[in-house]
Each structure stands twice: as structure tokens, then as C-alpha cells.
Structure 1
């Protein structure tokens, strides 16, 4: 499939797809006219890349991890060092989730207190 179709199917910009290709996270064959031709499996790969970026992993770490994901490269396994780095990333995400939950709780308290004080605006007469 062409880059525009992959972009539509994954809701990822063509610019991002080119960037992923530049990083070596995504690859495409070239047509005789020089257009990129991505395999159907690229859809799942792009979605996975997006999820890993959203989790806070950098492009080089994603590049190390992608071959180890199910269905990627048969027999590929992450190195013990990569597993340790991923465990560290997971712990960082867990901390961020706890911090965000705490921030949400504080915000909920402020909203609750504000609702008690704020008087609903009245409809203008006339």
C-alpha cells in the first residue's frame, strides 16, 4: 500500500511515517516510479510504534524492541540489558500514572470546593 493509504489506515501523518522509515522502524519496497509500497503488516507495526512512543520510549529503544515483538522476527529475543531497560521504563510509567492520578484527585477536590462556592449565573431579564 502507498504511504497515503497507510497514513489513513493508522491515523498517522505521512511525515511521521517517513520519519519512522528514516529511523529504521518501518520499511517499504519502492515501485518502479519510486513510490513507497508498504506491506499490509505495516498497519499493525505503525500502531505498535505509536503505542511505544506514547509510552515514552525513544526511537532507538523502539528499534531494539520491535524485532522481539510477537510476529516480527521469528526467534528474535531481547537482550537481558534491554529487558532491564524496559523494566526501568515500566517503573517510570507507573510513577507517572500515580502522579497523574494524584493530580486528578487534587483537581477533583478543587472542582468540588469551587462548585459549592460558585453561584450559577442568572438568566438576563428582558
Structure 2
């Protein structure tokens, strides 16, 4: 099937399919005129690639995971599993850092809100709280 048909069947743009191929995630054969042709197996592969992108993985990580789709080798499967665990741990650490940043911002917003309402006029001002009041 040609790229337009694969795009229609998978809901992925032709541009994305070309990107997947450029990154080594997807494979096609070429006609003498240079048109891409895909097998039916590529429909399932695109589905897997989309799920991995949706899980927050980048194309380099996905390229490391895809060999387990094409192989029954337990070592390859174990490597892919370890990669997924590592990526989940990276995402968890990112979530923790973002939550801490949000909590710090919430504290600044709360202090600024109290100051603006006059509740802290006798306490530390915005400069002492690390804030700068706009004139």
C-alpha cells in the first residue's frame, strides 16, 4: 500500500509516517519512481509507535524498543523491558520535580495574595517573600 493509504488506515499523517521512516522506526520499499510502499504489517507497527509516543517516549527510545517487536529473543525483550522501566522512572522524577515547582509557585501566589489583600501589611512584604510588586 502507498503512504496515503497507510495514513488513512492508521490515522497518522503522511508527514509523520515519513518522519517515522527517517528515524528508522518504519520501513518501506520504493518503486522505481521513488514512491513508498508498505506491507500490511506496518499498520500494526504504526499503532505500536503511536502508543509509545503517547507514553511520552522519544523516537530514539522507541528505536531501542522496537527490536523486541520483531524478535522472540528473550535478551532483546529484557532489554526493552529495562528501557521502559528506566523511562518510567525518568518520567516519575520529572513529575516529582514539576509538583515541587508547582507547590513553590502556589506558596508564592498565596503570599502575594495575602499581601495584596492587606493581611500581611505588618509582616514581610513582597520583596522579603522574594516577590517584586509591579508599579
- Structure 1-normalised TM-score? 0.65
**Match of residue 84 from structure 2:** 86
What do residues 65-120 of structure 1 show as CA deviations (whole Å, max 9, x unaligned)? 11102xx2343643766533311323436x86xx9xxxxxxxxxxxxxxxxxxxxx
1:32 CA displacement: 1.9
1:17 CA displacement: 0.2
CA RMSD of the aligned region, Å? 2.6
Distance in 2 between the 1:25 and 1:7 partners? 15
Contact in 2 for aligned 1:67/1:76 (Cα 8 Å): no
- Structure 2-normalised TM-score? 0.61
Contact in 1 for aligned 2:68/2:77 (Cα 8 Å): no
Structure 1 or 2, whichever has the larger Rg, is 2
Q: 1:36 to 1:4 in 2, by over 3 A?
A: same
**Match of residue 16 from structure 1:** 16
How many pairs does the alignment contain? 96
**What are the ranges of 5 or more consecutive residues in structure 2 without an aligned counterpart?**
99-135
**What are the ranges of 5 or more consecutive residues in structure 1 without an aligned counterpart?**
100-126
